[in-house]
Amino acid sequence: MNSRQITRRVGKSGVVTSAVGLGTWAIGGWMWGGTDEAESIAAIQASIDAGVSLIDTAPAYGLGRSEEIVGKAIKGRRDRAVIATKCGLNWHSKKGNHFFDQDGKPVNRYLGADGIAHEVEQSLRRLGTDYIDLYITHWQDPTTPIAETMEALERLKSAGKIRAIGASNLNTAELQQYVGAGQLDAIQERYSMLDREIEQTLLPIARQHQVAALSYSSLALGLLSGAIDPAREFSGDDQRKSNPRFSQANRRKVAVLKHALAPVAEVHQASMAQIVIAWTLAQPGITFALCGARSAAQARDNARAGEISLSAAELAAVDAAVAVHLVAIDA
């Protein structure tokens, strides 16, 4: 691993990985206007070669497509990758609660022991590996007691199929149940300069129980990257096409913020995206920042953020700029 990359431990587990992680939702194509496999593989491999060992994926990203692409990309690099994938959104049974339809298939939230046992084998096959470093419940299933889910995950851990346990998209009551039912090593939640609610809800509980926190949408679906021109148009099934956050007015606000952050960026010879990611990693309770990339260039740019440490004065300057320029951004 690149020695300049900040590394951190996943909760109480023995898993240590890069603080910056590669999120592969977009690589699955679904809700992102399709995917280019060769370019996606190049992005993953560029991340690993730049010292970003944490690669986050899920079966639901393209109904297995993202996991398959990750599997191809890590071939020959498995020992340099820390793979996080998920369970609980499945299309192989009718158990649990219907959540959404994808490609004409109903996808249910289900975290029963039988569902988890089936899903882990499918993920291992698609990823081309015999173990998963961090296995995360993707969305919570109200039809299955959390204690049953944790028992199933602990069995997988004892069997050596997973190394650490995580949970995503939780409320505080569910998090309390998880930490009461076994060793929860991580939570994965939406967090960015625009999404800070968990600072008051989940993060205090996580810190109390030594549970790591992975932020997803750290760049707010790319809005905070500073790379999306106000005039850009989104096509196909790209979710940003109808997202009010991506209005031209909001993109203009981000462009002004980019200018305000320029002095900090210049000190570190960094892009706006790199400063935003470094800021995210400096927030109390945030252990890892997941950032999407669909090209090798984007992957290398994100990786560079894992080498930046912002001073207290720089963090204060960024906070002040955010308070002025990101007000009234649509949710």
At 239, list the tokens: 């979710």
Measured CA distances, 149 to 87, 102, 135, 167 (Å):
10, 25, 12, 10
Euclidean distance between CA atoms 306 and 313, whole angstroms = 19
**pLDDT > 50? residue 1:** no
pLDDT, tens digit (0-9, with 9 covering 90-100), for 135-148:
999 999 999 999 99
Looking at the chain, the whole-number percentage of residues with pLDDT higher than 90 is 77
pLDDT, tens digit (0-9, with 9 covering 90-100), for 19-57:
999 999 877 544 444 568 899 999 999 999 999 999 999
Domains in the chain, number: 1
At 94, list the tokens: 């009718």
Phi and psi, residue 318, nearest 5°: -65, -45
How many CA atoms lie less than 13 Å away from 223 in the CB half-sphere?
27
Cβ proximity of 58 and 9 under 8 Å: no
Euclidean distance between CA atoms 62 and 49, whole angstroms = 25
Mean model confidence pLDDT for the chain = 92
Q: Is residue 251 part of a domain?
A: no
Q: Which positions are annotated as active-site residues? A: 61
pLDDT score recorded for residue 31:
47
Q: Determine the average pLDDT of the residues in 290-300.
A: 90
Q: Helix, strand, coil proportions of the chain in percent (round to 5)?
A: 45, 20, 40
Best-predicted range by mean pLDDT among 95-104, 204-213, 230-239? 204-213
Q: b vs e for 239-251, b when ≥16 Cβ sit within 10 Å of the residue's Cβ?
A: ebeebeebeeebb
Q: Is residue 168 part of a domain?
A: yes
pLDDT score recorded for residue 163:
98
Q: What is the DSSP string of 72-106?
A: HHHTTTGGG-EEEEEESEESS---SEEEEEETTEE
Per the listing, tokens 């009718």 go with 94
**pLDDT > 60? residue 328:** yes
Q: Is residue 142 part of a domain?
A: yes
Q: Is residue 258 part of a domain?
A: no
Q: Which of 9, 326, 299 is nearest to 164 (CA)?
A: 9
pLDDT, tens digit (0-9, with 9 covering 90-100), for 275-284:
999 999 999 9
Q: Is residue 241 part of a domain?
A: no
Q: What is the DSSP string of 150-201?
A: HHHHHHHHHTTSEEEEEEES--HHHHHHHHHHS---EEEEE-BTTB-GGGTT
Q: Residue 289 sits in which domain range?
A: 7-228+272-308
Q: Is residue 323 part of a domain?
A: no
Q: What is the DSSP string of 6-71?
A: -EEE-TTSS-EEESEEEE-TGGG-TTTT---HHHHHHHHHHHHHTT--EEE--TTTTTTHHHHHHH
Count, residues in the chain: 331
Q: How deeply is 10 buried, as exposed, middle or buried, from its count of CB atoms within 10 A (0-12, 13-18, 19+)?
A: buried
- Residue 27 sits in a domain whose CATH number is 3.20.20.100
Q: Determine the average pLDDT of the residues in 187-200.
A: 96
Q: Is residue 254 part of a domain?
A: no
Euclidean distance between CA atoms 211 and 179, whole angstroms = 9
pLDDT, tens digit (0-9, with 9 covering 90-100), for 48-76:
999 999 999 999 998 899 999 999 999 99
Q: Is residue 191 part of a domain?
A: yes
Euclidean distance between CA atoms 183 and 193, whole angstroms = 29
Per the listing, tokens 């004892």 go with 158
Q: Sign of the C-alpha dihedral, residues 29, 251, 22, 42? A: positive
Q: Which residues contact 224 (CB under 8 A, 6 or more apart)?
A: 192, 193, 194, 218, 254, 272, 273, 276
